[in-house]
Structure 1
């Protein structure tokens, strides 16, 4: 009988030690999650309220585009054909650009235009499209450090970041 009592006491102590260690690990994970969330997040484009830099480029159809030619509420989207999240966001962007009364400009960032042909063809159905590299003047003008990136510009000033959730309806 004394063997059973000793076993139960040891097992209880082991469970309590495990509980204390688990609590400590969970507390440490929460601290690390907060640190990552506060310091690990980086914007992939210029901040709201900032002015975009100067740039000049041409669309796939030969139309010149500059920072001064972006009018009121133009959504500028940056995609890369090798970016999986870009392919996931592409249908939402296409839906927005086909239903919105706002102007849209899609910038495909790639070093090989051939690998982007399918994406370019899809984007050309609803938007003006530019093809450029990650180190181009348009990427620098919008401070692009990753894709996908969505920036709404009104006469050279950034009014919003991200893909709009709802499609504006025209009256």
Structure 2
């Protein structure tokens, strides 16, 4: 009988200890949930109404690309050489901007120059092309969005439309 009493006391103490641990875990989870609730994931693209900050980049022909580049509504495509979806969207983007004047299209390719060659070959005659390293000035100006992402930027360097595919992007007037 003393073993039975000792066993019941032991199991009761073990259950009480387990209950205390469970309550501590629940309290900690509530603290983490409150922290996560305040944190938001970055937007997959720069939202309309965002004014681009000052930046300076160089196009493939050596011309400086700054906020002044946006002297009229411009279509912008941001690509990455490490992105499979970027390679898939490249022909669609090229077809979409083909009717536009190349000065109204900016293609930004993030990655190594050698790896960017397929993008450059497809877009060189259709757009001002900038190849920049990871976290380059143009990607920083757009807030490091997901790649690919597509924009219309007005003459004040303000994003007026943004999409993750070029198909739904409204083309600037006069195209």
TM over 0.5: yes
Native 8 Å contact 1:47 1:161 kept in 2: yes
| Aligned equivalent of 1:126 | 126
Structure 1 residue 156 displacement after superposition: 1.0
Structure 1 residue 100 displacement after superposition: 3.1
User: Could you tell me how far apart the structure 1 residues matched to 2:129 and 2:160 are?
Assistant: 21
- Compared CA separation, residues 145 and 169, structure 1 to 2 (3 A): closer
SS in 1 for 2:147: coil
| Aligned equivalent of 2:108 | 107
SS in 1 for 2:108: strand
Native 8 Å contact 2:107 2:123 kept in 1: yes
Native 8 Å contact 2:152 2:172 kept in 1: no
CA deviations on 1:63-117 (whole Å, 9 max, x unpaired) are: 211012212211111111221111111111101111135811000000x211111
| Aligned equivalent of 1:34 | none
RMSD value, Cα: 2.4
| Aligned equivalent of 1:12 | none
User: Could you tell me how far apart the structure 1 residues matched to 2:159 and 2:105 are?
Assistant: 14
Larger radius of gyration: 2
- Compared CA separation, residues 68 and 168, structure 1 to 2 (3 A): closer
Count of residues in correspondence between the two structures: 132
TM-score (norm 1): 0.68
TM-score (norm 2): 0.67
Structure 1 residue 135 displacement after superposition: 1.3
| Aligned equivalent of 2:55 | 55
Native 8 Å contact 1:75 1:104 kept in 2: yes
User: Could you tell me how far apart the structure 1 residues matched to 2:85 and 2:106 are?
Assistant: 18
